[in-house]
Amino acid sequence: MSVINAEGLTLHAREAETVSEVIFARVFNESDLAEYHEIETGIDVNTQIAFAGRLGLLGKKTVGCQPNEAGGFALTEKFWTPVLEDFRLRHCQADMPALFKMFRKSQRINPDFFDAVGSQEFGVIISAVETALQENIHRKVWFNDTAAATTANGGVFKVGTDLDYFNSFNGLFKQLFTAVTAGKVTRVPIDVNTGAGYNAQALAADAAIGIFEKMVTGADERLVAADDAFILASRSLADNYRATLRNKNLGSGFMEVTEGGRPKLLFDGIEVKVRYDWDRYIKTYQDNGTKYNLPHRAVFTTKSNIPVGTLSDADLSKLDVFYDKTLKTNFMDAAYTIDVKLLEEYMVVAAY
């Protein structure tokens, strides 16, 4: 079989003759993983993450010769629990339609016709798969859930979703929901998320600025003071905030600017990074046909507090590409270890 299904094309004299003429569908998130997360490498087995608690008050008035005893600090732990994931895509030239010109560049049948590895045309396909791999890593990091279930079985995933793409480890949303329930993470409720239908889930005008204000006000001082703190927000919240900026004069710390050709949102000097991919994943995989599952979400934290663990960061972006002479087939393999952790609960505020 081929990784390319050309059945949707009309094949005649002037169809696309090179892969460069094909318009590829854009991925949901083209940002580098390191924009949002620290990447911890060398993680291939269960690995301890140790935390030292903060010392309390120190120093009392000296009385006599015996120094005043101070309290110590506690050590706590979490663990990296990486999982090994893989996939394989295969491409056989003989499966392509006879008139399809994009992969008919060979000057002889054996072996050039079958071996596409190294060709310019196949290189573009490889690049597209590598980009899709990056998109899938973003999805897993946030939406994975080892207890994933469809709405027909009490879960939040759309009926028909292949849950094996979502249940290999717990992503950050699952970890946040669990920590909020345990009283370890501050949550700002977004009431319209519980609306009974799509229309009832729409945000009111200027809702986002109030949500962001509550997130910052309710945050631990150490988070607010962190130089690298940011707010990750769904597009729905970001668009609502942009509308407020257009209609109100809020001062220098509340604005949208352009840096390096990219728009940059600021809330009281804190960067708001728009996660367009969150909205797409929710609409694609967490829609029960009547309403979305928590369509408006935001997370106030630092990227060092939500690291991704893997044996090698190269595994998360590169493919093993080879041609098998026996099978006359081109293969694209990927394998990687991956986990993600919410580290210190006081360094995050969630809104949903």
Q: What share of the chain has pLDDT > 70, as a percent?
A: 83
| pLDDT tens track for 83-134 | 999 999 888 777 665 444 555 555 555 666 678 887 776 777 788 888 889 8
Q: Kindly state the average pLDDT of the residues 221-238.
A: 97
* Residue 198 confidence class, pLDDT cut points 50, 70, 90: very high
- Helix (H, G, I), strand (E, B), or coil: what is residue 75? strand
pLDDT at 27: 45
Closest CA to 68 of 76, 56, 59: 59
DSSP, residue by residue, 111-172: IIIT--TT-HHHHHHHHHHHHHHHHHHHHHHHH--TT--BGGGTSSBPTT--GGGT-SS--H
Per-residue confidence band for 28, with pLDDT thresholds at 50, 70 and 90: very low
Give the pLDDT mean for 250-264: 81
Question: Cα dihedral angle (308, 309, 311, 316), rounded to 10 degrees?
Answer: -20
Considering only CA atoms, give the Rg of the chain. 25
Token pair listed for 28: 């949901």
Q: Dihedral of CA 274/276/279/281: which sign?
A: negative
Percent of the chain past pLDDT 90, that is, above it, reads 58
φ and ψ at residue 295, rounded to 5 degrees: -70, -25
Q: Give the Cα separation of 263 and 274 in Å (integer).
A: 10
How far apart are the C-alpha atoms of 179 and 67, rounded to whole Å? 40
Whole-prediction pTM value? 0.83
Residue that wins the pLDDT comparison between 44 and 348: 348
CA 110: distance to chain centroid? 43
What is the Cα–Cα distance from 213 to 236, expressed in whole angstroms?
A: 16
Tokens representing 273?
Answer: 């990074």
State the Cα–Cα distance between residues 39 and 100, nearest whole angstrom: 42
